[in-house]
Amino acid sequence: MKRVLVMGVSPGVGKSTFAKKLGEKLDLEVYHLDSLYWQPGWKERDNDSFRELQEQIVKKDSWIIDGNYSNSYDLRVKRADTIIYLELPLIVCVYRVIKRRIVYARKMREDMAKGCPEKVDWSFFTFILTTYRERQKKMRNRFKKLKNDEDCKIFMLMNRKDIENYIQNL
């Protein structure tokens, strides 16, 4: 396990927290896609330069990358030897995003780009609520197709206990 993707059903599922713990346990560098995608002032990076940044990372011998970003999934999955998919109930994800918004209000999170302080954004909550089921189905199907790939191990962690046990049992 040297090139790991940490993906999840929704914002708030715990991708960044899990990736950080995994990085500490395995002594691997962690890259947060949100910190690569967003530029100061919550400006979106153009797709070409976002992909270029990821290409530089996946060329390395070892890494953990957390985040979904379907438009560049192909770059990451080609080089990954392990994919860890996190899925928790929608209500848990929403609760965690609300909690994160309160705890980090107008502060910087270490997994976010510089110049992008946490903010309450109702369109973000709407995104979570309206796309959860669709993304859940898409992600499960995506990883079921990869289950037989001998070059890439897939772990689908479907509850908090699975997530905690995975880290503890490494």
What CATH number has the domain bearing residue 131?
Answer: 3.40.50.300
Q: What is the DSSP letter of 70?
A: G
Q: What pTM was estimated for this model as a whole?
A: 0.93
Dihedral sign from CA coordinates of 116, 119, 122, 125: positive
State the angle between helix axes of 122-146 and 90-103 in degrees (0 to 180), rounded to the nearest 10. 130
* Residue 53 or residue 143, greater confidence: 53
3-state DSSP assignment of residue 76: helix
Domain that holds residue 105: 3-168
Total count of domains within the chain: 1
3-state DSSP assignment of residue 169: coil
Average pLDDT over residues 59-74: 96
* Residue 148 or residue 119, greater confidence: 119
